[in-house]
Structure 1
Amino acid sequence: MHRTMRPTRRAASTLGGAPVAGGFGASDAGRSWTQDYTLTVDPRTTVLDCLLLIKRTQDPTLAFRYSCGHGMCGSDAVAINGTPSLLCKTTVQQAAQTAKPATPSFRRTAGAQTAAAAVPTATSVGTSTTATTPASSADTPVIDLAPIAAFSVQRDLIADIDPMLDQIRALQPYLQARGDLAMTADGKVNVFEYLQSPEQLAKFEQLTTCIACGVCEASCPVFVGGDAFVGPAALVNQIRFIDDSRDGAASERLAAISESDGLPACQSVRACGLNCPQGIDVGEVIWQFIQGVQTRKQEG
């Protein structure tokens, strides 16, 4: 396991350099080394379960984030063999398909000073349901795990995704109804006025399944590259409300994401939708929305 201990910048400033997360303080920033864990598990085991097993039986100091364990919370996004993915939705068999063969040599690395230091976990696993496969076998896959790109590393596999969540919150990610009540002829509130047609719902329904895991942001070369860009997660969140017929703040939302760091900063690479655990084609959604905005401008 290539492992880095790195405190968050926030922790270093608020705690005055006091030790955080297992005794590593600000002076340890950038420390990293190679640490391999070997497991023999059923190929249907999730990578998250592998890490939990390592934490219980081999290394209680191993740090990673998870919550529901069923792909609903989005808290356990990491890079698996370089690809942003959820630990709980990726099985050993799936990860092994993109893994490199294990090498018998012992690997050790020096500390790196990059913003997203490599912190992969090399977990060698057997390919059968029994423990007969030797852990040192040359064909045993090595699954590399690292924090998702574009975010600062807090420790091991934990990345600080607060900047993404803050950006989403800043754009008011909640329905803003128009406020006027539709009335019937006899002066009563017409509750049926607020029903949506299947066509209206279809425009944004899939976007409501976004779990803000950060996978799209870690897949976006513009966002990862550090350019001034709010990121695909924030854009998709706002498109969800703009396309909602019940929302009355569409003009304000469109103006907000039309700033230079919003829609204009998107280069339509479309890598953001390649690994979405919810199956949202993020890049296509943003591209189609941009095309729609341009068409309306030309017609109006």
Structure 2
Amino acid sequence: MATPTLEKPAAQAGADHLVTVTFRIRRFNPEVSAETHWRDFEIAIDPKERVLDALHQIKWHEDGTLTFRRSCAHGICGSDAMRINGKNRLACKTLIKDITPIKDGVATKPILVEPIKGMTVLKDLVVDMDPFFQAYRDVMPFLITSGNEPTRERLQSAEDRERFDDTTKCILCAACTSSCPVFWNDGQYFGPAAIVNAHRFIFDSRDEGGERRLEVLNDKDGVWRCRTTFNCTDACPRGIEVTKAIQEVKKALITRRF
């Protein structure tokens, strides 16, 4: 008589897919200490989950004081940019299995999580974004036109749109700016994200404010501070050719053709 096969309960079957991962998170709470420190959290999680899911699990079940930003969780809002294993990434787009080796159900290396560099840390993984957004506002990231308000939409050819299409993808996550060694050294530099958003309008055929934006970026803290290290392009989670856009703005400043 055949021995009946007993199926595993759904919860147990699901647990077979979990691996043990250590998250080493840089912590900072100004109300407790002026010093930062690292804290390890060991959790069981599906390796196909994202780093953001792991941070949620830690906050909800291990330590409710862990502080980080997130909103849409789908790589659109840019809120959860952080340094993961030494590289700027969006936590909601980074899969655990892609950033740590796993053997026999255990991650063999801890995953390091810390705030993005070059900005004042407010608490844990949250940084002060005000200077970043001020640089963004300074380049006038909106359409500038003259004359009367049109009675119909401003039409644009596919070729004209393609000229600046790449830089419309920016989600203001600050991954590019906070990966820039010039920005680390001097926070007065406008930074790649501001220049990318200036590019988006400078090369828009419907816009009339290109000269004004170029003069803003011609400042000592503007586009000429770029050293073409390509860190910004490597860090962009949207795949924008950031360094190329910066070079095009430099060329426009020299030739006044855009």
Name the TM-score, length of structure 2 as normaliser.
0.84
1:161 aligned residue:
129
Distance 1:227 1:69 in 2: 28
Q: Distance in 2 between matches of 1:241 and 1:286?
A: 13
Q: Which residue of 1 aligns with 2:116?
A: 148
Alignment of 1:17-36 (within 5 A): 24=31, 28-30=33-35, 32-36=36-40
Map of 2:206 onto structure 1: 246
Letter paired with 1:262: G
Quick check: 2:139–2:216 contact (8 Å CA) kept in 1? yes
What secondary structure, in the 3-state scheme, does the structure 2 residue paired with 1:274 have? helix
> Are 1:206 and 2:210 counterparts?
no
Instruction: Tell me the CA shift for residue 206 of structure 1.
Output: 2.1
Candidates 123, 148, 155, aligned match of 1:195: 155
Distance 1:181 1:64, change over 3 A: closer
| SS of corresponding position for 2:46 | coil
Q: Encode CA deviations 1:105-139: one digit per residue, 9 max, x unaligned.
A: xxxxxxxxxxxxxxxxxxxxxx48xxx735xxxx6
Determine which of 153, 175, 178 is the counterpart of 1:215.
175
Distance 1:252 1:45, change over 3 A: same
TM-superposed CA distance for 1:160, in Å, is 1.3
Residue in 2 that maps onto 1:80: 84
Map of 1:3 onto structure 2: 26
Within a 5 Å distance, the mapping from 1:1-300 to structure 2 comes to 1-7=24-30, 24=31, 28-30=33-35, 32-96=36-100, 127=102, 133=105, 140-180=108-148, 189=151, 191=152, 194-226=154-186, 228-294=188-254, 296=255
Displacement after TM superposition at 1:34 (Å): 3.2
Whole-angstrom CA distance in 2 between matches of 1:34 and 1:232:
30
Structure 1 range deviating more: 222-231 or 70-79: 222-231
- Aligned partners of 2:188 and 2:149: how far apart in 1? 40
Amino acid at match of 1:47: V
Aligned equivalents of 2:166, 2:56: Cα separation in 1: 31
Give the superposition deviation at 1:203.
1.1
Which segments of structure 1 move beyond 6 Å, counting only runs of 4 or more? none
Say which is worse superposed, 228-237 or 168-177, in terms of deviation: 168-177
Deviation at 1:227, TM superposition (A): 5.8
Check the 8 A contact 2:118/2:187 in 1, yes or no: no
Q: Secondary structure at the match of 1:215?
A: coil
8 Å Cα contact 1:78/1:148 also seen in 2: yes
Change (3 A) 1:227 1:163: closer
**What are the ranges of 5 or more consecutive residues in structure 2 without an aligned counterpart?**
1-23
Equivalent-residue separation in structure 2 for 1:161 and 1:142 (angstroms): 28
Task: Give me the CA root mean square deviation.
Answer: 2.1
For 1:152 and 1:219, the matched residues in 2 are separated by 14
Cα 1:64–1:154 shift into 2, 3 Å: same
C-alpha distance in 1, partners of 2:215/2:26?
A: 43
For the residue of structure 2 that corresponds to 1:222, the secondary structure is helix
Q: Does the CA contact (< 8 Å) of 2:27 and 2:39 recur in 1?
A: no
Pairwise CA distance, 1:250 = 1.1
Question: Normalization by structure 1: what TM-score?
Answer: 0.73
The verdict on how the C-alpha distance between 1:257 and 1:96 changes in structure 2, with shifts beyond 3 A counting, is same
For residues 228 and 94 of structure 2, the distance between their equivalents in structure 1, rounded to whole angstroms, comes to: 27
Amino acid at match of 2:175: V
| Aligned partner letter, 1:203 | R
